Structure 1
Amino acid sequence: MFTGLIEDTGRVMFFERRNQAGSLQVETSLPVNEIAIGDSVSVNGACLTVTTKRDRLLTFDLSPESLGTTTLTKLRSGSMVNLERALRLGDRMGGHIVTGHIDCIGRLVRSQESSGNRILEFSLPPENARYLVAKGSVAINGISLTVNRVTPSGFSVNIIPLTQAETTLSALKSGDEVNIETDIIGKYVERLTQPWKGSSSLSIKTLAEYGFL
């Protein structure tokens, strides 16, 4: 589990496809000596497992699922990625609960400056948009952000200068694709309430019969 607070922006050293899977190596300023083989690291929001490490380099194996549902296939040597180590017991929850399981790929449709901040508007599939609420949380390329407003086809976020400086968001341009993870709480609520959808016998007529109207 992660919080969406980026610890480092790493540089891709290589990315290669292996049939339906792949391998990714990233150079990082994170303390590699504190990262064990088998540890989870969020790479642009996708939870990946460290398979090898040396010096300042971390290597990850990518499953067909990771390649098929994320933007990781677009990475090239020199690409910059957001990195965050998995949350430890006792760490501060500075962002929100981020699982590292990408829901969909979004697209930046508009970017504008506003009072020193940057407003980014993204589009995403309708089936994922229903989990977004104004002032709720969303993870974009692993970054915990507050939804500024929800639009018919997507949503917008307000990016402060610090977030631009310490993540890869400053390099985004219109048309670029990003990894989107919506808030896990909304998905659990939907799942838990599904059995009761349409099963209630409560109606205006029933309320009137019992004197509530």
Structure 2
Amino acid sequence: MFTGIVEELGEITAVETLDDACRFRLRGPAVTEGARHGDSIAVNGVCLTVVDHEGDEFTADVMAETLNRSSLGALAVGSRVNLERPTAVGARLGGHIVQGHVDGTGEILERKPSEHWEIVRISLPADLARYVVEKGSITVDGISLTVVDAGPDFFTVSLIPTTLALTTLGIKQPGDPVNLEVDIIAKYVERLLGAPGGTR
């Protein structure tokens, strides 16, 4: 489990395309400290497993299902990525409960800068709109954010200088894809309320 508090801005250093998968090598000095084979690291909000680790780099395999459901397939050597290690039991939950299981992708539609923050409008797939509410939580590229406005096919978030400086949302532009994970609690509530006995 993650919290959506990005630890560092990493970088893709190598990409190996396989028949039905992809292998990434990523640089991230903070998240690789003490990393071991089999550990989980969130990459732009996608929970990946460490296959190999050497120095400040690690390797992770990405299956076709993940490539199809996320924006990881658009990454190339030099791409910057948000990195986060799983939260430790008993640690502060700084963001919200994030599984690292991407529900879909959106697209940066518009950026409106102001003196101290920036409003970003992001497209929202129709099947995810019911889980996104004003002042609720959403994960964008692995970043725990609060929804400012929620429409039928979009939502907006307000980004503080720290988020702009330390995550990919500081450099992404209109047209760029982002990974979205909606609040897991909303999905559980929907299932429990929509089906007597908890089944459909």
TM-score by length of 1: 0.90
Secondary structure in structure 1 of the residue aligned to 2:30: coil
Q: How does 1:7-46 map to 2 (within 5 A)?
A: 7-30=7-30, 32-46=32-46
**After alignment, is 177-186 or 111-120 more displaced?**
111-120
Residue 13 of structure 1 deviates from its aligned partner by: 0.4
| Distance in 1 between residues matched to 2:65 and 2:78, nearest whole Å | 24
Task: Give the equivalent residue in structure 1 for 2:121.
Answer: 121
| Distance in 1 between residues matched to 2:54 and 2:36, nearest whole Å | 11
Q: Give the length in aligned residue pairs.
A: 196
Secondary structure in structure 1 of the residue aligned to 2:25: strand
| Distance in 1 between residues matched to 2:8 and 2:168, nearest whole Å | 10
Letter in 2 for 1:118: E
Deviation by residue 1:139-186 (Cα, 9 ceiling, x = unmatched): 000000000011231100000011101111111111111000000000
| Distance in 1 between residues matched to 2:30 and 2:24, nearest whole Å | 16
Letter in 1 for 2:135: K
| Distance in 2 between residues matched to 1:150 and 1:87, nearest whole Å | 28
- Confirm or deny that 1:106 pairs with 2:106: yes
Unaligned runs of 5+ in 1: 197-213
Task: Give the equivalent residue in structure 2 for 1:156.
Answer: 156
Residue 30 of structure 1 deviates from its aligned partner by: 1.1
Residue 31 of structure 1 deviates from its aligned partner by: 5.3
Task: Give the equivalent residue in structure 2 for 1:145.
Answer: 145
Q: How does 1:72-111 map to 2 (within 5 A)?
A: 72-111=72-111
Deviation by residue 1:5-27 (Cα, 9 ceiling, x = unmatched): 00011110012221111100101
Residue 116 of structure 1 deviates from its aligned partner by: 2.0
Residue 32 of structure 1 deviates from its aligned partner by: 2.4
| Distance in 2 between residues matched to 1:65 and 1:73, nearest whole Å | 11
**Once superposed, what is the RMSD of the aligned Cα atoms?**
1.0
Identity of aligned residues (%): 43
Deviation by residue 1:28-47 (Cα, 9 ceiling, x = unmatched): 12152411110110000000
Structure 1 pair 141–111 and aligned structure 2 pair: CA distance change class (3 A)? same
Task: Give the equivalent residue in structure 2 for 1:209.
Answer: none
Unaligned runs of 5+ in 2: none
Secondary structure in structure 1 of the residue aligned to 2:195: helix
Q: Are the aligned partners of 2:7 and 2:31 in contact in 1 as well (CA < 8 Å)?
A: no
Over 4 Å off, 4+ runs: none
Deviation by residue 1:44-71 (Cα, 9 ceiling, x = unmatched): 0000000000011110011111111011
**Structure of higher CA gyration radius:** 1
| Distance in 2 between residues matched to 1:2 and 1:103, nearest whole Å | 15
Secondary structure in structure 2 of the residue aligned to 1:34: coil
